[in-house]
DNA sequence: CATCATTGTTGTCATCGTCTACTTTGGGGT
DNA sequence: ACCCCAAAGTAGACGATGACAACAATGATG
């Protein structure tokens, strides 16, 4: 019983990040405090300071982890063999599912409060995420399935539609399940436009 | 000189909101404290409590004001006589301009942290904003300029594209000026889709 | 086995949001 | 014209937080 924890935790940094992400998911970012985190982890209130210079530094690390996971999810969900529309729909579904399950984290990821150092690594995370979509667009363009225009811009447009829906879901304007449910429609309208043909 | 301010401020509530919005714009929401606000307004640290039960109550009031202004901007920018594309482009420009000038406020508006009472009034603000776009969509549909489909959904899609771009701009992924600059393209792709015709 | 950089701890500080008890003020009812 | 009382502002206290500094335990490296 009395197994007093060893003086050194082993991997406090990881433990803190894990606990932080759970809190973020369950109670929201507002009730995420370094001291509470320390308490949950059974460590003194100043211990986190050894691993994160700042509260912001921890948030940055959290966001960075989010980008990592998001990229993996998207890369895993991409099926390059499919034709444009189902391929894009699959990716969209993956993104919206991630957004629904990691609302607060996603908000954090897009929050640009990041400290000088982390900003670049954050940009890398964005690039990797965006890259998945960019590849799909470029592939489709090569096959003539998509209008001739700067791929960057088309990707941005696609991303905006998704990000917008995710944002509505995060803001409570739209039910997350409903958002997921309208993915097919979303991609359809994205590809075919609002104008009748 | 020694004009000691009268015991009663006159309209402290309004003064606080104004000061808060300036701080929000200039220093971000992170450095918005009730006490600092009170100091700036030359009033004791507990005075804001008379007008706002909570810090959240003040934020809610701020968000509500934002919806009011946004709705006015959009309603003012709408030119019902125009054909669909230029009409929508004008509205989009107005929205993105508002978003660029009120980044933090917009974030607050979409933040769904709101207290029980304010949630409904917040929803009304959303409806009024969305209503402007919905009307445009419905009008266009009546004229056959837009595909037959649930107008709500088409509006949501339109809103998502805009909100997404605004979000990117707010997150630093996109330069606000650049976002404004690509409005025409955005609406074009929205109406015509990514597929070649 | 001695050393010393890492990692954790305790203690302190300023700030913040909120609550309670007290004071000033000015307008409405008699 | 006056009184009274509710509204609006003040002063002080409390607990929580993020940050920092000084100190202690630990264990890897020489």
The first and second tokens of residue A191, run together, are 């590809």
Q: Across the interface, which of A30, A168, A173 has its CB nearest the CB of B113?
A: A30
Residues ≥6 apart with Cβ < 8 Å to B160: A160, A161, A162, A163, A164, A165, A167, A168, A186
Nucleotides of D under 7 A from a protein CB: 8-13, 16-22, 25-27
Q: What is the pLDDT along chain B (197 residues), one digit of tens a residue?
A: 334 467 577 789 999 999 999 999 999 999 999 999 999 999 999 999 999 999 999 999 999 999 999 999 999 999 999 999 999 999 999 999 999 999 999 999 998 877 888 888 999 999 999 999 999 999 999 999 999 999 999 999 999 999 999 999 999 899 999 999 999 999 999 999 999 98
> Considering only residues 40 to 59 of chain B, which have any Cβ-Cβ distance to chain A shorter than 8 Å?
none
**Angle at which helices A55-77 and A12-27 cross, to 10°:** 80
Instruction: Report the C-alpha gap between A108 and B107 in whole angstroms.
Output: 12
The confidence score (pLDDT) of residue A118 equals 87
State pLDDT tens for residues B87-138: 999 999 999 999 999 999 999 999 887 788 888 899 999 999 999 999 999 9
Nearest CA in chain A to B85: A195
Residue A196 distance to chain B (closest CA, Å): 5
A-B interface: how many C-beta pairs under 8 angstroms?
141
Instruction: Report the C-alpha gap between A70 and A55 in whole angstroms.
Output: 23
Q: What mean pLDDT is predicted for residues A149-156?
A: 96
Q: What mean pLDDT is predicted for residues A145-156?
A: 96
Q: Across the interface, which of A126, A148, A167 has its CB nearest the CB of B164?
A: A167
| C-alpha dist (Å) from residue B58 to B65, B77, B109 | 11, 29, 12
State pLDDT tens for residues A68-127: 999 999 999 999 999 999 999 999 999 999 999 999 999 999 988 778 888 889 999 999
**Which domains are seen in chain B, by residue range?**
1-52 (1.10.10), 53-192 (1.10.357.10)
């Amino acid at each position: 019983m009395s197994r007093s924890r060893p003086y050194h935790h082993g991997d406090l940094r990881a433990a803190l990040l894990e606990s932080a992400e759970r809190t973020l998911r369950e109670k929201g970012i507002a009730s995420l405090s370094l001291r509470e985190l320390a308490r949950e982890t059974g460590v003194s209130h100043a211990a986190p300071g050894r691993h994160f210079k700042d509260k912001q530094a921890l948030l940055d690390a959290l966001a960075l982890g989010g980008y990592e996971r998001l990229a993996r999810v998207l890369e895993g969900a991409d099926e390059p063999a499919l034709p444009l529309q189902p391929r894009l729909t699959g990716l969209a579904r993956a993104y919206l599912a991630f957004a629904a399950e990691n609302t607060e984290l996603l908000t954090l990821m897009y929050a640009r409060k990041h400290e000088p150092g982390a900003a670049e690594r954050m940009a890398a995370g964005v690039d990797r995420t965006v890259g998945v979509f960019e590849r799909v667009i470029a592939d489709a363009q090569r096959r003539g399935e998509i209008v001739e225009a700067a791929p960057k811009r088309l990707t941005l447009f696609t991303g905006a539609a998704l990000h917008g829906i995710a944002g509505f879901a995060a803001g409570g304007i739209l039910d997350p399940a409903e958002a997921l449910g309208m993915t097919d429609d979303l991609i359809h309208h994205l590809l075919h436009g609002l104008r009748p043909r």
